[in-house]
Structure 1
Amino acid sequence: MFRKIIFWSHLVVGIATGLVIFVLALTGVILTYEMQIAALFDPKVSAPSENAQMLTTDEILAIAKPVFEDQTATLNYYSDASKPLTVAAGRHEMKMIDPYSGAFIEAGSNPTENFFHLAEDLHRNLAMGFDSTGATLVKVSNLAFLFIIISGAYLWLPRKWKWPFLRQKIFFVKMPTAKARDFNWHHVFSFWVLIPLVAVVGTGVIISYPWANDLAFSAAGLEAPMGGGRGKGMWARSSGGGSSNLPVEQLVSYQSILDKAKTVESNWKTISIIVPSADNAKNVDILVDTGNGKQGATQQTVTYSRETGDVVEVKGPDEMATPTQALKRYLRFLHSGEVYGIVGQTLAGIASLASLFLVWTGFALAWRRLISPLFRKKAVPTN
């Protein structure tokens, strides 16, 4: 009786939310390698002439600082010399700069921007806007999908633990009918993507609902962060170290400090100068990243004195943020898999792709169970 209740709940919830889940899975597949694909089409920079020199960091900062006045901004250098510099305040505010001319580069010049923006809007709110009916449908469907996964895991358990039955739920097997094939596919896909799918959908629920967010942090023994997470950058917290008594022109240049930061990690991918608000700030924080920008474990902050150029402090990944901030970041980028780099992105993408097959085979099985019998001709009794 209990199994029957779970089965029908699984079926009804799946039918009710299947179309929205399909959209979420499809856009999830599209967004899998967004970062890498967008980078391919990002504007490139090159020296205008053979003897051309890049502007110094101090010259770049003089151009960049006024753009994000009264905000904590970062100036980002990349190991890939063909990438323009970027000045950013948080995830959603960024401008690119040509390091040779100091000119700002229009972000809209990347042809993938509008495409991925639409995909993200569909993924978050069915392109209906923040706090819209579409956003509510996405949240409800995320929660429903988590229930479908959990109930499906229970229903997957075979009644007979014998290899012939188990084999059909673990491996693709040639089946005699379309119904049997869909049954086989539905179980096989759900088995192989269960763990990454729980991670992707579970974090989606945590992102969607404050109560789920509170529950996740409570389970970790932490207090849930306040606010919606649209700050000016999780690690962008310039210490500054107070004001120096030296004249600004006597302080160590940012270019000299950048040159030193480049020797901290030979395999650095990004070096970010967390721009102090005061021109005569005593210290400056430099974030050195050897990962993709989303992995806290690959980052460290080195604080330099602008009076001497010496290292004042080094903070590793565990010291850069509070446990609450670290967990918040982890959950956010676990949803996309980016917290585990290209491998995590791939697993998240595979889980999304498998979800498309789960929805399709689920609808097909439901159709055959509920709808097809209505069109079958009833046998006419003979006298």
Structure 2
Amino acid sequence: MKAFKKITGWLHLWLGLISGIILIVVALTGALLTFEEELDPIFFKKSRVVEVSGTRLPVDSLVQIANTAFPGKKAARLIIPETADRSVTARIGARGKGLKIAYINPYTGAILYKGPYEKEFFQQVRNLHRYLLMEETGKVITGISCSICLFLVISGIIIWWPANKKAIKQRFKIKWDASGKRLTWDLHSVSGFYISLFLLLITLTGFVWSYQWAEDLIYTLADGKQTKEAKVKNLEKLKVAKPGIYQGMLDQTNQIYTYTGTVAFNLPAKPALAVTVQKELEESVNRQVDAASFDSHTGKFISKLPYAKLSNGTKIRRMILPIHTGSLLGWLTKLLYLIVCLFTASLPVTGLLIWLNRKKKSKTKSPRRRSTVAKPKLVPAK
């Protein structure tokens, strides 16, 4: 058992030193992303917050404005927030580096801001968090770091586990009046133990963005198979869309799902595909999003897909993000996750200090002293 714990401690030390900087970056950016919804309208108030004046423009007008924001590019997604004093978000063009974004005042039609989607502040933070701003190479690195973090959590508990009953009390509290070395150890081991469960949840859910097999495993375990979202086709084959159809889609969606919530229009790039309108219940713990599909040329209702009819795998997959970011129960879990992220960022620092203290101690060990007692002289016999 001692040999196993020694090997575990050695791996914990060196893997922690190797991945320390990456874990600090991921933890701090994760803390920032936890409060993205609250911080975004504060940091970028001019483009996110608007003055309420009368009623919002029809959805068709908003789509038309979005289509003129960038020449040659059409709106792909239009998000109409539940809150009256927030701007409408339009994502324009194809996914990838060419995707653009625009914020529109829903009352005046003025474009408050437009630019590349990937240059958005929180999108940059997200790219740093997931890919270290290095795209596929960064994804590989963060994926490996996520695996290392999982090992560090498990091995940390093994190292923390007290050898006997007398040591149990010492492992649950930080001795603030102890020496610097002891305090560093307590900050690392005791705080690491308390956040281990939450860090385990964050790490396991993080695998979904690092590895495709992790996402596929959710559907396989929950549904018995990998499910793909089916694309709904139009009822009629027309070349030109009828005017005023988008506002009609919104009205029909609100009749089907009567609660108040944020509405998102997914506008297809291919003319044969239908428009999908999603409505999200903001107060739901499990990210309840109900959907309805409409003919993109006539606006006729085709089908609906309420949250209750989704597969178990899809429901679980939608809960991964709020579990990972701490938004599952609102401010309570967000503040808790903030503490977890800050302590996680401190673990590589305290771990490094522990290693340096041990290294310094080993160097300062004095060699064995030679005996100073004088040896008696041997007098030869006469």
Give me the TM-score of the superposition, normalised by structure 1: 0.75
Deviation (angstroms), 1:305 = 8.7
Are 1:289 and 2:280 counterparts?
A: yes
2:190 is matched with 188
> What amino acid sits opposite 2:178 in the alignment?
P
| The one of 118, 124, 130 aligned to 1:124 | 130
- 2:172 touches 2:190 (CA, 8 Å); kept in 1? yes
1:366 is matched with 355
Instruction: Give identity over the alignment, percent.
Output: 23
Q: 1:334 to 1:259 in 2, by over 3 A?
A: same
User: Greater CA deviation, 309-318 or 179-188?
Assistant: 309-318
Q: 1:81 to 1:216 in 2, by over 3 A?
A: closer
Give me the whole-angstrom Cα distance separating, in 1, the residues matched to 2:159 and 2:326: 27
Deviation (angstroms), 1:258 = 2.7
Deviation (angstroms), 1:303 = 5.2
> What amino acid sits opposite 1:154 in the alignment?
I
Deviation (angstroms), 1:242 = 0.6
Are 1:77 and 2:66 counterparts?
A: no
> What amino acid sits opposite 2:10 in the alignment?
W
Give me the whole-angstrom Cα distance separating, in 2, the residues matched to 1:66 and 1:323: 40
- 1:238 touches 1:285 (CA, 8 Å); kept in 2? no
Larger-Rg structure: 2
Give me the whole-angstrom Cα distance separating, in 1, the residues matched to 2:76 and 2:249: 17
> What amino acid sits opposite 1:88 in the alignment?
R
User: Greater CA deviation, 363-372 or 264-273?
Assistant: 264-273
> What amino acid sits opposite 1:26 in the alignment?
L
Q: Which whole-Å deviations, capped at 9, do the CAs of 1:103-139 have from their partners, x for residues lacking one? A: 43324599xx665454334323433x2233x554333
In the comparison of the two structures, how many residue pairs are matched? 360
- Equivalent residue runs for 1:222-371 within 5 Å: 222-223=224-225, 239=232, 241-243=234-236, 253-259=245-251, 261-262=253-254, 268-275=260-267, 285-291=276-282, 297-302=287-292, 314-320=304-310, 322-338=311-327, 341-371=330-360
- Secondary structure of the residue aligned to 1:25 is helix
- Equivalent residue runs for 1:110-259 within 5 Å: 115-127=121-133, 129-132=134-137, 134-162=138-166, 165-213=167-215, 218-220=220-222, 222-223=224-225, 239=232, 241-243=234-236, 253-259=245-251
- 2:187 touches 2:350 (CA, 8 Å); kept in 1? yes
- 2:31 touches 2:342 (CA, 8 Å); kept in 1? yes
Deviation (angstroms), 1:140 = 2.2
> What amino acid sits opposite 2:126 in the alignment?
E
2:101 is matched with 94
2:50 is matched with 45
- Secondary structure of the residue aligned to 1:242 is coil
Deviation (angstroms), 1:313 = 5.1
Give me the whole-angstrom Cα distance separating, in 1, the residues matched to 2:326 and 2:231: 28
1:5 is matched with 7
- 2:140 touches 2:210 (CA, 8 Å); kept in 1? no
Q: 1:195 to 1:5 in 2, by over 3 A?
A: same
Deviation (angstroms), 1:355 = 0.7
> What amino acid sits opposite 2:6 in the alignment?
K
Q: 1:183 to 1:13 in 2, by over 3 A?
A: same
Give me the whole-angstrom Cα distance separating, in 2, the residues matched to 1:103 and 1:38: 20
RMSD of aligned alpha carbons: 4.2
> What amino acid sits opposite 1:290 in the alignment?
L
**Unmatched runs of 5 consecutive residues or more in structure 1:** 227-233
- Secondary structure of the residue aligned to 2:174 is coil
**Unmatched runs of 5 consecutive residues or more in structure 2:** 373-382
- 1:298 touches 1:317 (CA, 8 Å); kept in 2? yes
User: Greater CA deviation, 55-64 or 85-94?
Assistant: 85-94
- Secondary structure of the residue aligned to 2:136 is coil
Q: 1:211 to 1:374 in 2, by over 3 A?
A: farther
Deviation (angstroms), 1:37 = 0.6
Give me the whole-angstrom Cα distance separating, in 2, the residues matched to 1:315 and 1:212: 25
- 1:240 touches 1:276 (CA, 8 Å); kept in 2? no
1:22 is matched with 24
- 2:266 touches 2:276 (CA, 8 Å); kept in 1? yes
Give me the whole-angstrom Cα distance separating, in 1, the residues matched to 2:102 and 2:226: 32
- 1:273 touches 1:287 (CA, 8 Å); kept in 2? yes
Give me the whole-angstrom Cα distance separating, in 2, the residues matched to 1:284 and 1:377: 77
> What amino acid sits opposite 2:363 in the alignment?
L
Give me the whole-angstrom Cα distance separating, in 1, the residues matched to 2:234 and 2:14: 59
1:230 is matched with none
Q: 1:160 to 1:35 in 2, by over 3 A?
A: same
Give me the whole-angstrom Cα distance separating, in 1, the residues matched to 2:271 and 2:56: 22
Give me the TM-score of the superposition, normalised by structure 2: 0.75
